[in-house]
Each structure stands twice: as C-alpha cells, then as structure tokens.
Amino acid sequence: MSRRKIFKTEHLQRHVNNYSEHCCVPLCKASAKFNGVLSFHGFPTKLELRRQWLVKIRRDNFTISSHSKVCSRHFATDQLIEPKTLDGRRRLVKGAVPTLWNHFTAQTQRASVWERRERPTEPVSREEQEEHNDVHDHDYCSTPEAASLDMSSQAAEDNSKTVEDLQKQLQELRVQREFCLQRFAGSDDNIRFYTRFPSYNHLMAFWFLIEPSIHKMVCVTRAISTAKRNEEVVTHARPSTRQLLQPIDEFFLFLCFLSVGLKERDLANRFNVHQSTVSRIIATWTSFLTTLLGSQCIWLTPAEVQAHLPEAFKNFPDTGDPGLHRAEVSNTILTPPPK
C-alpha cells in the first residue's frame, strides 16, 4: 500500500479513545469508546456514600473495581462541575449521588401522606345541583323561536352588507393610490390634460376601435430578439411572460408620454414599474399605432373637397385635387430645408 493511500485511510478513520470505559448502571449502554461528551466517574471511597450509590443505581451484590464507572447522565446538573477549559474534565461536587435512572430525568417528588389521604366531598345544595343541570342539559327536540331566527338572519345580512361596503372602500382606496386611467375616469379635465382627448367617452370610443387588434401587438424586445435569431415573429406572447400593466393602462402611459411630455423615470415612478418597462411600452405602442393607423386613409375624396370648398377657390381647377395636395405634402416633408 502506497504512502498516499495509507494517509487517506488514516484520515478517514473514526476517532477512537485509548481507553474503553462503560457505565455499570443496568440497562445503560453508554461507552467512552466513541463518545467524547459524557464523563465517567468512579465510585467514592467512603463506605456510606458508596452504599448510597449502589442503592441508587439498583445494583445488589456488585463487586466494585477500578473500572466500575457511572456516566454523567445519571447525575443531576447541580451535581456536576463543568470544566473551564477545553482540555479540562468534568468533576462531581462533594457528596454527589447518582439520582437519575435510565430515563435521565429527575424523579418527581412523592406526595405527602396528607396529600394522598382521601377526604369526604362537601355536600352540594339542591339549588346548585339544579343550576348545574340547567347548564349542561339540552333539549334536542326543541326548536328556536321565529323571532330569534329573524334576528340572526338580519344580523347575517348586516354583516354581508358591511363586508361589501368595506370591499368597495378598499377598491376605491386602491384606485386612488394607483396612477391609472380608472383613477381619472370621472374627470374630463384630467383626461384632456393627460391624453388630449376631449372627454373620457371619446377616449373609450377610440379604445374600443383599437382593442380588437391588441392581440396582434408584438413587443419590441421580442421582435428584436427574434430578428437576431432569424425566426418568425409570433404575435401571441409566451405564457411565462408576466404583464405588469393592463393594456389600457399601457395605452394611458403612452398618451401621458405624448401629451404631457413626462420623462421615462417620472412615468416609471407614477405607474410603479421599471424605467426599462416604460421604454418598452412606449416603443411597442408607437410601432403598433403606426402600423394600425397608417393604413387608414385620412384624405377627402374629390367630391367631398369640391362640396366644402369656399367660393373663392372654386375658380382654380387644381384646388380640389387631393392627389396634388398629397404630393405637395410629401415633397415638403422629404425635401430638406435650404442651407
């Protein structure tokens, strides 16, 4: 066997003491061979104290030798002196006797003769006995009165109404605390300030028009990741994706960004989301509304232009041509300004 294998074998061996002491108390299996927590104590030299030890450990006609030991589990804690150092040994107080048997718990003190003596019970009066019977007896055939049933049902209804009122108050407080569209639904002034829509009804009318296409919305970050992997963009989101805001609240955040010009950090603090989430919502809704509304024709037909054209412009033949106006607008947008 190599030196390295011998060292490994000795390193993994269990620590074994050089001495092997056993407790001489009957039914006690404590041994010092693999136990470094217990301490083992020899019998005292005084004959009277030694006789008390033999009585407590229940050994009769026992020959005591130098190897006869009693472990520390049979002594009470107040009879042991703990060592003050790591290398010290546990000692016994002077006159200590092993009072604990194999349950290793202190024996309960036996009751005195006066406590064990039976005493005659005191006579109970007839009134007390009737009162006791009235309390414990119950007539299982009796039916409650109608008035008590009405009172209990009324109390149950009152409790249910109280619970409903508390739930409504909690919902109102939650809406007031959160910065969302539902919080400003009752104020058209706030709707005009944050969204530039004339009223809440106008905003909801526009929302009902674009809501059927919400499921086709593709998140910008998901579109970028799929483009890098050359994969097809799937319109529906993954089940593991957790949406922090409702779609209508994301739309409200986008309108606040356009109308009021709030910064992304300010919007993140108002809607209680991360700043990167705000940036993703703005980019996603910009792409979505551009794709959805860009296909809508906003130009009037030639007949509608001629019908609403002022009299002063009807003498010009090219005034009512919407194609010419679209070309002029396109040239104005695409042509850079002169330097």
Per-residue pLDDT of the chain (339 residues; tens, 9 = 90+): 444 444 433 333 344 445 578 898 988 888 887 777 888 888 998 999 999 999 888 888 888 888 889 998 899 888 898 888 877 888 899 999 998 877 655 555 667 777 777 777 766 667 666 666 655 555 566 666 666 667 777 888 888 888 888 888 877 766 567 788 888 888 999 999 999 999 999 999 999 999 988 888 877 665 565 555 555 555 444 443 445 788 999 999 999 999 999 899 999 998 889 999 999 999 999 989 988 887 777 777 888 888 888 888 877 766 655 555 555 544 444 444 454
Packed helices 247-259 and 275-294: angle between N→C axes, nearest 10 degrees = 90
Measured CA to CA, the distance from residue 200 to residue 188 in angstroms comes to: 6
| Predicted local confidence at residue 322, as pLDDT | 52
Residues 6 or more apart in contact with residue 75 via CB below 8 angstroms: 41, 92, 96, 98, 99, 100
Measured CA to CA, the distance from residue 288 to residue 298 in angstroms comes to: 18
- C-beta neighbour count of 262 within 10 angstroms: 17
| Predicted local confidence at residue 332, as pLDDT | 44
| Predicted local confidence at residue 14, as pLDDT | 42
Rg (the chain; Cα; Å): 47
| Predicted local confidence at residue 179, as pLDDT | 84
Show the tokens assigned to 83.
């060592």
Measured CA to CA, the distance from residue 1 to residue 76 in angstroms comes to: 50
Q: Are 47 and 20 in contact (CB under 8 A)?
A: no
Pairing state of beta strands 91-92 and 40-42? unpaired
CA-to-CA dists, residue 267 to 28, 139, 193, 271, angstroms: 74, 68, 15, 6
| Predicted local confidence at residue 15, as pLDDT | 43
| Predicted local confidence at residue 299, as pLDDT | 76
Show the tokens assigned to 25.
């108390």
| Predicted local confidence at residue 7, as pLDDT | 40
| Predicted local confidence at residue 84, as pLDDT | 83
- C-beta neighbour count of 330 within 10 angstroms: 10
Strand partners, 69: 23, 42
